[in-house]
Amino acid sequence: MNFVSTGQGPAVLLIHGLFGNLDNLKGLGQVLESQYQVIRVDVPNHGLSEHWDEMDYPRLATAMVALLDELAIERAHIVGHSMGGKIAMATALAFPERIISMVAADIAPVAYEPRHDLVFAALESLPLEGHTDRRFALNHLIDKGIDEATAQFLLKNLQRTDTGFRWKLNLSGLKACYPNIIGWHNQAPNPVQSYSGPSLFIRGGDSNYVTGEHRSAIMAQFPAAQAKTLEGCGHWLHAQKPAIFNRIVSEFIDKQAM
C-alpha cells in the first residue's frame, strides 16, 4: 500500500475517502507532524496503491494493521473521512488493541443508499484516448452533471499517457465493490464488534451523512463516542473549514496523550 510518513512521535494514520488519495488530509497531517508520526495512505484501488478485485471493510482494516506492522508501530491514532472513516472504524472494531483513538469525519457505522451513480457514469463516459487537455475532461464531467469543485477533485485521478489519459484509481474495481463501500458489516443494534476506546465523530452541519437517526448505531458500536458538528459546511468539512477541523482533531488526539 502506498503511503507517506512524516514527523516523529506517536503514530497517526490518516485515511482519505472514495475517489481520493493521500493528499486529501495533507493539511491535517502538516498540523500534526510537529508532534506525531503521520502516515497518509492511498487506500487500495486509489492513488498509487495496488488494485483489488475484492474490497470490503474487514479486508481494508487488515491492510491498515499490516501497514502498522510493516512500520513496526504497535499502536496508532486513526483518522478517516467518509469511506476512510469507515475504514478507521472497521480497524478500531477489529483490532482495538492496535488503536489509541479513532476519528470519523462525516460518516456513520451504517449502510447507506447509493449516491455516486452520477459520478460513476460521468467517469466511465469520459473519453480517455486522444485527449490530453484537462479542460476537455473538466467540461465533460460538468456536462454530465458534476459540479465544478467535485469535477476538479475527481480529475486529480487522471494521469497523462502518450496518447491521452488513464485513471490512476481502479474505476471498474470501485464500481464492482461499491455495494461493500456503502454497506456495513457490523450492523446495530446487535453489532458483533464494539470499540470502547476514545472516538470522535465530526459531522458537517449541512451534510446528511450523519444524522440523529444514526446516534443509536454509533453508540452501540462506539460507546465512548464524542460528537462535534461544524456549522456552515457539508460533507467536505476538512476542505471547507480546514482550520477548525484540524484544530478539533489535533486537540482530541492530544488529549489521549495526557
Q: How confident is the model at residue 258 (pLDDT cuts 50, 70, 90)?
A: low
User: pLDDT value at position 132?
Assistant: 77
Q: If you average pLDDT over residues 200-226, what whole number do you get?
A: 96
Q: 202 and 99, same structural domain? A: yes
Q: 58 and 145, same structural domain? A: no
Number of other CB atoms surrounding residue 108 within 10 Å: 24
Q: 206 and 159, same structural domain? A: no
Q: 41 and 152, same structural domain? A: no
Residue 91 · residue 213 · CB < 8 Å: no
Domain termination residue (choose one: 129, 148, 177): 177
Distance between CA atoms of 220 and 182, rounded to whole angstroms?
Answer: 19
Mean pLDDT lowest among 28-32, 37-41, 192-196:
192-196
User: pLDDT value at position 162?
Assistant: 84
Q: 34 and 76, same structural domain? A: yes
Residue 257 has pLDDT above 90, yes or no: no
| Predicted TM-score of the model (pTM) | 0.96
Domain that holds residue 164: 117-177
Q: What percent of the chain has pLDDT over 70?
A: 100
Distance between CA atoms of 67 and 231, rounded to whole angstroms?
Answer: 35
Rounded to whole angstroms, what are the CA distances from 131 to 140, 142, 158, 159, 164?
11, 16, 12, 12, 5
Q: 158 and 204, same structural domain? A: no
User: Residue 101, class by beta-carbon neighbours within 10 Å (0-12 exposed, 13-18 middle, 19+ buried)?
Assistant: buried
For the stretch 130-179, pLDDT in tens is 877 889 999 999 999 999 999 999 999 999 888 889 999 999 999 999 99
For the stretch 13-27, pLDDT in tens is 999 999 999 999 999
Of 9, 72, 6, which is closest to residue 40 (Cα–Cα)?
6
Distance between CA atoms of 84 and 89, rounded to whole angstroms?
Answer: 9
Cβ neighbors of 179 (< 8 A, separation 6 or more) are none
Q: 23 and 104, same structural domain? A: yes
CA torsion, points 125, 128, 133, 138, in degrees to nearest 10? 20
Of 54, 55, 63, which is closest to residue 88 (Cα–Cα)?
63
Of 53, 84, 120, which is closest to residue 238 (Cα–Cα)?
84
Q: 236 and 197, same structural domain? A: yes
Sheet holding 225-230, edge to edge: 3-6, 37-41, 11-15, 76-81, 99-105, 199-204, 225-230
Q: 226 and 198, same structural domain? A: yes
Which alpha helices (DSSP H) does 126-160 contain, by range?
Answer: 134-143, 148-154
Number of other CB atoms surrounding residue 198 within 10 Å: 20
Of 112, 65, 113, 111, which is closest to residue 88 (Cα–Cα)?
65
Domain termination residue (choose one: 130, 153, 177): 177
For the stretch 43-53, pLDDT in tens is 999 999 999 99
Q: 34 and 99, same structural domain? A: yes
Q: What percent of the chain has pLDDT over 90?
A: 92
Q: If you average pLDDT over residues 18-41, what whole number do you get?
A: 97
Domain termination residue (choose one: 145, 162, 177): 177
Of 179, 187, 229, which is closest to residue 208 (Cα–Cα)?
229
Residue 76 has pLDDT above 90, yes or no: yes
Residue 188 has pLDDT above 80, yes or no: no
Residue 198 · residue 227 · CB < 8 Å: no
When divided into structural domains, the chain yields a total of: 2
Q: 158 and 132, same structural domain? A: yes
Number of helical H runs and strand E runs in the chain: 10, 9
Please give the positions annotated as active site: 82, 235
Whole-number mean pLDDT of the chain? 95
- Residue 255 parent element (H or E): helix 242-256
Of 68, 74, 5, 58, which is closest to residue 177 (Cα–Cα)?
58
Phi, psi of 127 (to 5 degrees): -70, 120
Q: The domain that contains 230 carries what CATH number?
A: 3.40.50.1820
For the stretch 235-252, pLDDT in tens is 999 999 999 999 999 999
Q: 168 and 194, same structural domain? A: no
For the stretch 86-117, pLDDT in tens is 999 999 999 999 999 999 999 999 999 999 99
